[in-house]
Amino acid sequence: GCMAQNKQDEIFDRLPHVPDEVAYYFHAKYFAAGHLYLPEPPEPKAFTCSLALLHAGKWYSAQLPGWPFVLALGVRAGVPWLVNPLLGAIAILISFALVRKLYDEPLAKGVVLLLAFSPWLLYMSANLMGHALSLVLSLAALLAVQRARESGSLGWAALAGACLGGLANTRPLEALAMGIVVALWWLSAGWKRLRIAAVAISMLVAMSLVGLQLAYNQALTNNPWELPFEKVDEVAYRGANRVGFGPD
């Protein structure tokens, strides 16, 4: 354990290395201090970061708030570097529970073995990006839906909605993809087994968390339907935040 930790210190130094990580860490630090954004610094050019924006007198990270909120818990505890390793471990445990429930224990143990030695999972569980959180939320949503689908439990349904809503505040395209899969799987249980109240409470919880994102947008951009990330176009250049190819 000590040797592994020393190697991690040598490779990552418990520091952000790419602009996305810098923005996430900056985001988490002012969240941990109780701020939605900061006032413009006296020398803006001294604090230049591609995803930390200065707009309308506000200084903030353009990233979505889901992962920075979780990372802020690590910042408050003084161990931001520990959050993703813990999430990676939790993802393996949830994978075991889900696969064992859907198939059997020997297959679940095989999944644990493969994940524990996956270079990609290890790497993404050692940086400051939001992928480990999105993996945990996705797996937890599937496990919760499986339990709610089987038993009609309102508690598991609420957890599924919370995970999907949290995923929407972290990596929204993944939330859309996972939401479609979850909906089709849940509805395929058939009307005899489907409990409408469970589906409804899941949707309500998910929509409540999406509502928090809209309120967050309003606080930063003065428009609930405009993500802070969309301000990159105004701060950098037209098309900077556009997906795809072309002149912009």
Model pLDDT for residues 132-148, shown as the tens digit of each residue: 999 999 999 999 999 99
Closest listed residue to residue 24, CA positions, set 120, 134, 116, 119? 134
**DSSP of 173-236:** HHHHHHHHHHHHHHHTT-TTT--HHHHHHHHHHHHHHHHHHHHHHHHHHS-TTS-GGGGHHHHT
Model pLDDT for residues 25-67, shown as the tens digit of each residue: 999 999 999 999 999 988 888 888 878 888 888 999 999 999 9
Model pLDDT for residues 179-229, shown as the tens digit of each residue: 999 999 988 877 677 788 999 999 999 999 999 999 999 999 999 999 998
pLDDT(10) > 70: no
H-helix or E-strand spanning residue 86: helix 83-102
């930063």: which residue's tokens? 220
203/113 Cα distance (integer angstroms):
34
Higher pLDDT, 8 or 95: 95
Q: Which residues contact 129 (CB under 8 A, 6 or more apart)?
A: 20, 21, 24, 67, 84
pLDDT, residue 245, reads 66
Residue 1: band (very low, low, confident or very high) from pLDDT cuts 50, 70, 90: very low
pLDDT, residue 13, reads 82
Average pLDDT over the chain reads: 90
